[in-house]
Structure 1
Amino acid sequence: MYITARERILLEILVHASYDVSHVQLAEATSVSVRTIQRDLKGLQRTVRFFGLNLIRNKDQTISLQGNKEELLNYLQSMETTEYTTEERQGLLLVRLLNSKEPIKLFSLGSELGVTTATVSADLDKTSRWLETYSLEIIRKRGYGIEIQGLETNKRRAMSGVLSSHLTEEAIYEAVYDNEVQGQIIERLLNIVDTAMIKDVLLTVRHVKEENFPHMVDQSLIALIVHATLVIERLRQGEPIYMDQDQLEALEQMEEYTLAVKLGRALEEAFSIDLPPEEIGYFVMHLRGARISGSNEIPFEEVNAELIGRIKQLIRGVEEELNVKLYDPSLVQDLFAHLKPALYRIRQEMKIANPLLDRLKQNYEELFNVTKRQAEIIFSPLLIPEEEIGFIVLHFGSTLERSKRSVELSALVICPSGIGSAKMLASRIEQEFPEVNSITNVSMFELGSYQMNNYDLIISTVKMENERNAFHVSPVLTKEEVRVIRLFIDSLQVERPTDIEEFPEYIERSPFDDIAELSAMMKAFLQSIHLFSSQAVWQGIEKSMQWLEGKGYVTRWQDVALTLRNREKVGGLAIPDTGLVLYHARSESAVTPFFLLIDLEEEMKLMSMADKKEMVERIILMVAPASLERYKLEFISYVSTLLIGSKQQTDIFQKGNQQEVKQMLEKECRDYLTMFIQKGEGPS
């Protein structure tokens, strides 16, 4: 079966998603428009049907895969991809040209990448603009071929840049420690830098790092490892290394020079090579440009008063524009630790990737724009690129989102993107989950030193396999990710304080709090909708309860089933003249309200609410937590009235499939929420 590169990305997203994915998210992931995604879905539907799956397209512009995904997942993992995404192809193109000593024919490049010469030509137009930032130029001559011209220094920086942007922390970790390589682009790039050598370089660099620069973040460590590996391979091939003599002399006067010498000597001993002075100079540049996390020993007020002054001006400017309070000594220190190497990188035209940039600009638009505007004023005439602005926004965002901690759970946070991302994620965890009072931040390379079973919760920005309490999230922690983690935390049956005097900040609630909570509850309620079939009533109820426990909606399914049995003893539950029976209750073991349907394989006679026997075809299960605010209970009551609402609604409950019932309830939820907002009422 032929699957394009974009289809591969879409399928990988959908097959791993535990929630409905929006058209916008798919468009962002594949760098195309929403309209293109909508066109692609028809072909995608045909592809998934081949694997016995159904592509569910919801009215709210979200998509999900329905069915057993195992066969599709196995196929995606085993397939040999013959087509690259645009970004992958351009990355390979750059590496090929930067690594070549001679011009390469256009036709040869097209053959290697499996595309037409016209596509290669278009890719060259785009990559040439990227190369300009490194003062490099693509030369194209008919009959001569294609080559990159410029200083060797700049070629080395560009090669390191393109490799580091594709060889992520997760990819390096998998290749070095798991002996697995996920993705053909990664496999081809790792052929440029030998995996075995990367592992040896990593061990050598880490040994020096632990003693001399322990707070370097994974992203900078990867760049340094890639650079050092390329150096060793070039030296072994007898290639000369160049650097302007004046630049080298300036680098030798910098404070990082001593560390660079230590690193060089360690590599010389490990690989039996002789590093020239120029290479020590390149190490100085990497160390000066490295991003440092968690350093608490920098006497920043004394070392760089001018930079501290500008940082304080930046904070004041953002505070005034947004009318918020940001200033905190730890924020100043964190920004200093980030900006000191960042400003050096900018002056040296050293590029840095920020994979969170697009999401930050979208989710924190006002904060991003204000920070960018203030940075342009404060640091003028130096222009701060948007990638660095994004990291500054992460620091500001983490400060804005700090909230009261509780005293219940411990969390291990694995976030290799740096202190800004780690703090942002930690603060989001604190804000959303007051039960978490202990947070430990680690990188992927430090993971082996920690016992994961010592933590109640593991939250990681890279995938963790075979850990029940591990959650793969983004550093900004989306609402859907919050919902999934919330269900898990609640399933731990943690006892929460109920005395309102312990939480005085909760006394005054805004109506917006109620709107947000009601909306979140509705979303979880709609996602719980599922259709089962069963030969008998209680066989179906117990099967569905076990399914709910696996999804995190209930903590002990046996308790909920017992509550429903006790409710059945009180009186009939069948709804007259509908063929429906409604099992409903409130239970301590219910985490959030849910709604299930069970079709009986044969009609059964059950006692009705009118104390008569009724023929029943479908069971409806609707359970809510024992403790639930009145305005939330009112919504649950409203849903129960829909069962005997209009004839059209009753018909859907009677005969509709899972999707039809869900679509009808989605509309009712939107209408109810609109009414709730217009009333502007909170809990009475």
Structure 2
Amino acid sequence: MLSLLLSASGEITAAGIAADTGVSVRTVHREMEDLEVILQDFGLTLIRKSGKGIQLSGPDAALEELRLYLLEEKPADYSGEDRKVYALCLLLEASEPVKLFFLAHTLKVTVATISYDLDELEPWVRKFSLQLVRRRGYGVEITGTEFDKRRAIARLAAEHLDQSDLVGHLQQPKGNPVFRMLLTAVGKNKLLDIENLLWDMEWKWTAELPEIVYMELLLGLSVTVRRIDLGKGIDGAEEAGYSRLSDHRNIAGAEHFVRRLSDTLGLEFPRTEILYVAGLFDRVQESFSSAGFAYGDIALMEIVYRLTENVGKRTGLSFQSDRALREGLLEHIDPALRRIREGTRIRNPLLGPIRKDYDYLFQVVRAAVEEMELDLEIPDEEVGFLVMHFGASVERLSQLRRSVRAILVCASGLSSSRLLATRLTKEMPQIEILRNISWYEAARLPEEDYDLIISTIDLPLEKERYIKISPLLTSEEIDKLLNYIQTITLGERRPAASPGETEPVLRDEAAMDRMKSYQGVLEEIIRLLERFRLYPLDNSGQDLAGTLSAMLETLNGTGVIGDADILLDRLLERERMASQLIPDTKLALFHTRSSHIRLSSLTLYRLHEPVVLNGEAEVAVILLMLAPRKLSKESLEVLSEISALLLNAEMVQLLEERSEPEIRRYLSSELLRFFENKR
């Protein structure tokens, strides 16, 4: 209709438009209302003359602008989700309001559809303290600070892109333009340059970050570079926003990093951007240091305990005895619940295959989750991840003799890597899974450290250096993997046997690492048990803060703690965040990690007077678990095992009633069993 009106030299009747477009005259009159809304965005109007017809009116420049929009090539059809992502990318990058008609025309939908899409996007935009502004004749735009716009872009990418999309060695695909637009918005073309420089800094803390946190940092840095490239920098007026990210512990490191980044990319970074990068560094470090102690979170422990118990009751399998399952769920569920509470979209690209191949287990886990009556709605995508953990537990078999050393890289986290590892153990016992690593570790791992990299995502590596399969390991993929091992791994990488030898001379360096890990676990167990003490504590007339302060005083002179006041604040803050009470007991676990703690410590206090938590629950016994901020994987495993024991009624009774030697003997027996099962 617009094209007809533009090409007409004068008025054109509704009947003429109807004949040319193949619709009724009534439809033409009805559509005219929508057209008038569109034309307002261009500063144009419709003139209707009775008995003559309809004509466009307005400046020649506006008419030409409309003509150019109509002539613009239209992309393929978009899904509803695609339209929203496209609109967000466009609006977050735009420097001025965008006309509704432009969005509607580009996405091949009506203005009414775009308006509906924007209605649905408003709550998402508000989560980042941004505002979606819409005014007739003005257009639509997203307003707010640059700080918040960067957060929104990084979150949008995390919700809609896989790691493989961001770091894969493949060229940027030419398919879905929305996909390309999102990759452009996060600076995909410079992301690996930024990542290589970040790794070259050789900071210990970056190497210790969990993969999901590392990707969060990398996305934040890449978005920052993209925004500066667009001329959209942080200005001085936004400096108040830094407190939301940073206490600026990393300014010196950020200055060094930004200097090298500036030289590499040819960009200027003002002081405000250096502070912003320092804030990104601070945030991920703090996130890592607190998340690493999820093992001491009793509420989380209880969720895992109830979930494994519920699934076990329905299947008749002893999931609660599977430590690997428990550890995997503990690491997965804490960030998963946080994402659900924040309203982050959960993506699980394997949901379809999971529901097909593990339908019974999916229904069981879904029912078990619903029985728990959590205060959150758990989506099917998240249930799918849980199913992968339980599927790995079902298929977990005893270790058999291996001949090929393999490294696993999985983008979907522990759930997919554990499932794939157990599927490989069952289907291909000749493969020894050395460990699961991140994509950025795989890209830098010396080739002599492994025989084979098995990945579920595209890697920034040459194709012959790894094989890509799905975590479900189909029969076709088993054949593909066998062929790869025979033709490439064994044919090119394994050393030939010397004369007279029955097997190649191959020193498994990982064996020494495993022995060191066992040694670390055993030493941590012994140190904790030797330092364990039981104190009767006279806390008469003291509140919780006074009681905790008195507990910390007992550790003065032991070499365990430094600044007790800072530790007291951290312990009280943890209680404000979530109750430390063990459910259905008078026992509480108070725990924290801090740079002011020098040695891991476990102490038990029986109070003269109960203290009140959460305004109502009384606690008579407190177990205090302290650990340094920097803690080895082995130490975390031991603390995890002790925390898990608190869900055991026998353990609780011992802590509440029995003597120090009896408690130490029980802990010794349980932790020895834990150690023996690791080997």
TM-score (norm 2): 0.49
Q: Which has the higher contact order (CA 8 A, sep 6+)?
A: 2
Structure 1 length-normalised TM: 0.49
